[in-house]
Chains A and B, each alone.
Chain A
Amino acid sequence: MTLPFPGFLPTVSTDPIHQFKIFSLLDWNVGAYNLSFTNSSFWMLVSTGLVLTFLGLAASRGGLIPNRLQSLGELSYGFIADMVRSTAGEEGLKFFPFVFTLFFFILGANIVGMFPYAFTTTSHIAVTGALAIVVILIVVGYGIYKNGLGFFGLFAPHGVPLPVMFFLVPIEIISFLARPITLGMRLFANMLAGHIMLKLLAIFVVMLAGAGLAWAAWVPYVLLIPITALEFLVAFLQAYVFALLTCVYLKDAIHPSH
């Protein structure tokens, strides 16, 4: 265990990449694997803990007439359930708990990451990529379990003339293979870029002021306010997009024919 935790102290690095650095809080090696409890693990614990607390409190009341917190929990339930139902159909509701967990896991991580000194766990490709791969494995696994080889009909749309098929099938296969990459990349890149942009603007304010250009420092300072708001929107939107695309892909597994 390394103390003090540099990430928790109110010192600010001027390096925009510094915020993404992982360091061990509790060393733990299992065989050849380094499974240390890191700052990333800690903030993942915080975000999942907050999500669990919020949803747990919202669900535990179970009143006939909801209070605000319960309403919020029920709205979340309805929001995700409607999304799954409208995108993947009634059968897609089998995966409702998974999609719900995905949405709230990502949303929690993104929102917690917006707070100063916090670590954004979704700004690492290992996390977002793993989530994307899990989604695709479930899609492929369920698609084959449900439709057998018919699942691969996904790559051969109906009513297409044979010569076109020769071009279309490889394109469909490539686009399918690109799904986990784009799914993981989109979230990762959005969070990374957003946080770098915020950091650069913030540092720019300090640098300009430090260089005796206080009047100019106002420009990035004012710009920082709407961009912070935008990043909160992005935090929600990326969680939503991830969950929505999961539903779209699940629909392909349930009904592979185009």
Chain B
Amino acid sequence: MSLLAFLAETAAHGGEHGEGVKAPFPAFDPTWFASQLFWLAVFFLGLYFALARFILPKLSDTLEKRANRIAADLDEAARLNNQSVEAQKALELRLAQARAKARETGDKAREKTEAELAAETSRVDADLTRKLETAEARIAKLRADAMKNVEQIAVDAAEAMTARLGVKASRSDVKKAVAAALEQRG
């Protein structure tokens, strides 16, 4: 069919429609209104009851179940989280306690060691001091003895020297002179 023929046919159809000879425009044809309304009511109400009675409650039930499950899971997660936070706190407390105890033990041990060390040191000091004193006393005595000997030797030497030189000097004079000389020298 050519384009022109198609247009002609459409025009003819429109003409017929305008004259109202043929059937009216289908959407406004009252012949089928009753049938359309009846079957619309049947199918629409059927769909409505199937949806409202069975399908929508089931869907909403599923959605609600899921929401509850998610909420429950979140609650559980929060509870476990709290638990872990508490455990963490307890752990920190225990750690702090242990650390304090360790410090205390360490301090005690150190104090004890220091005390022992001090006691030992003082004992050794005292010992050393005592030994030193003994030694010093001995040295002083030895020195005094030595000094006495020196005096005697000096007196003997001086007496010998005066005798050799032909100077008359009594033993007591020599002793005095030596003592004076020694005293002078310190």
Tell me the A residues contacting B by CB distance below 8 Å.
14-15, 17, 20-22, 24, 33-38, 40-41, 44-45, 48, 51-52, 55-56, 58-60, 62-64, 66, 70, 73-74, 77-78, 96-98, 100-101, 104-105, 121, 123-127, 130-131, 188, 192, 203, 207-208, 210-211, 213
A-B contacts at CB below 8 angstroms, number: 147
What's the minimum C-beta distance from A102 to chain B, rounded to whole angstroms?
Answer: 8
Q: Are B25 and A64 in contact (CB under 8 A)?
A: no
Closest to B28 in A: A125
**What's the nearest-Cβ distance from chain A to residue B27, in Å?**
5
Interfacial chain B residues near A45, Cβ < 8 Å: 43
Within 8 A of A (CB), among B1-43: 1-4, 6, 9-10, 13, 25-29, 31-40, 43
Contact indicator B27/A123 (Cβ below 8 Å): yes
B58 within 8 A of A: yes
Task: Please report B residues at the A interface, Cβ cutoff 8 Å.
Answer: 1-4, 6, 9-10, 13, 25-29, 31-40, 43-44, 46-48, 50-52, 54-56, 58-63, 65-66, 69
Can you give 24 A-B contacts (C-beta < 8 A)?
A21-B26, A22-B26, A22-B31, A22-B36, A44-B39, A45-B43, A48-B44, A52-B47, A52-B50, A52-B55, A60-B58, A66-B62, A77-B60, A78-B63, A101-B47, A104-B51, A123-B27, A126-B27, A130-B36, A131-B40, A207-B1, A207-B3, A210-B3, A213-B3
6 further A-B contacts with Cβ under 8 Å, apart from A33-B38, A101-B44, are A17-B13, A38-B35, A40-B36, A52-B50, A59-B55, A121-B40
Question: Within 8 Å CB of B28, what residues of A?
Answer: 125
Per CB-CB distance, the 8 closest pairs between chain A and chain B, nearest first, are A97-B52, A41-B39, A20-B26, A59-B58, A126-B36, A33-B34, A211-B3, A207-B3
CB distance from B71 to the nearest CB of A (A): 13
Query: B36: nearest residue on chain A (CB-CB)?
Result: A126
Q: Is the contact region of chain B dominated by helix, strand, or loop, or is it mixed? A: helix
Q: How far is the CA of A24 from the CA of B39 in the complex (A)?
A: 12
A48 to B41 Cα, complex, angstroms: 12
Partner of A74 from the list B10, B47, B63 (CB cut-off 8 Å) is B63
